[in-house]
């Protein structure tokens, strides 16, 4: 076939990271703990109750009884991929959301954040944002090369959240899945390790206490801080 073509960058000295095994992560505004049905399920069910739309784009839910949610949490806590976490807002002390690390592929240095369910009380809070920042930080500091976020392409709040965190838009995989009997086109976002130092500084700048007023409102927007880090922006989120 002729001369060899160009080859990818040689990863001299790179060592595949370990799978995640941490029991908890704690920041200034948020705490994550490995999901425990006995510890978290009752509180989380109350926080989610009456908000069935939270599950519209999820492969699970909605849950119509505390027992049903407890059974799901019991199954979820036993898994290592997805690895589920409960999210606590340290301002209120309440457990108000869950998320998971999944598609954990140490041999490629790739890991994904998903299964995100945030109660109304946790949505649009600095605790929710910090929870995601803590997981991104853990992954890159542990040696992962790529941090992914994938969502239903119709889920515009999730697409906005990914871009706000500084993850770059990588396109839409059409007819990628069937979820609850419906087609799912999947929007892909990711950050890579070369972007992490600048992304870390943007996250830290946004999370500084001085960036919030007495009512907890941000002074500088996270999306503005991460804009220069992103390799590509989501065209669906652009004005015009």
Distance CA 56, CA 158 (A): 12
Q: What is the pLDDT of residues 108-120, one digit of tens each?
A: 999 999 999 999 9
Ranges of each domain in the chain:
24-235
Pairing type for strands 168-179 and 182-192 reads antiparallel
Question: Do residues 47 and 96 lie in contact, with contact meaning Cβ atoms separated by under 8 Å?
Answer: yes
Q: With bands split at pLDDT 50, 70 and 90, how would you rate the model's confidence at 2?
A: low
Q: Would you tell me which CATH number, out of the four given (3.20.20.70, 3.40.50.920, 3.40.630.30, 3.40.50.720), belongs to the domain 24-235?
A: 3.40.630.30
Instruction: Say which residues have a Cβ less than 8 Å from residue 165's Cβ, sequence separation at least 6.
Output: 129, 132, 133, 136, 149, 191, 203, 222, 226
Q: What is the pLDDT of residues 151-210, one digit of tens each?
A: 999 999 999 999 999 999 999 999 999 999 999 999 999 999 999 999 999 999 999 999
Q: What is the pTM of this model?
A: 0.96
């Amino acid at each position: 076939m002729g001369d060899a073509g160009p080859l990818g960058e040689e990863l001299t000295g790179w060592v595949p990271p370990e799978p995640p095994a941490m029991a908890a992560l704690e920041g200034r505004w948020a705490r994550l703990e490995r999901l425990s049905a006995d510890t978290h399920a009752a509180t989380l069910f109350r926080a989610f109750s009456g908000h069935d739309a939270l599950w519209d784009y999820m492969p699970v839910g909605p849950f119509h009884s505390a027992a049903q949610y407890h059974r799901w949490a019991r199954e979820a806590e036993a898994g290592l991929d997805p690895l589920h976490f409960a999210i606590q807002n340290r301002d209120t002390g309440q457990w108000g959301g869950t998320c998971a690390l999944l598609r954990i592929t140490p041999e490629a240095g790739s890991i994904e954040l998903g299964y995100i369910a945030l109660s109304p009380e946790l949505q649009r809070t600095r605790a929710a944002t910090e929870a995601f920042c803590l997981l991104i930080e853990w992954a890159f500091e542990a040696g992962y090369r790529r941090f992914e976020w994938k969502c239903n392409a119709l889920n515009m709040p999730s697409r906005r959240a990914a871009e706000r965190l500084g993850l770059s838009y990588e396109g839409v995989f059409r007819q990628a899945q069937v979820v609850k009997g419906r087609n799912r086109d999947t929007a892909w976002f990711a950050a890579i390790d070369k972007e992490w130092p600048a992304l870390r500084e943007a996250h830290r700048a946004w999370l500084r206490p001085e960036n919030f007023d007495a009512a907890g409102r941000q002074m500088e927007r996270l999306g503005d801080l991460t804009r220069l880090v992103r390799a590509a922006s989501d065209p669906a989120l652009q004005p015009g």
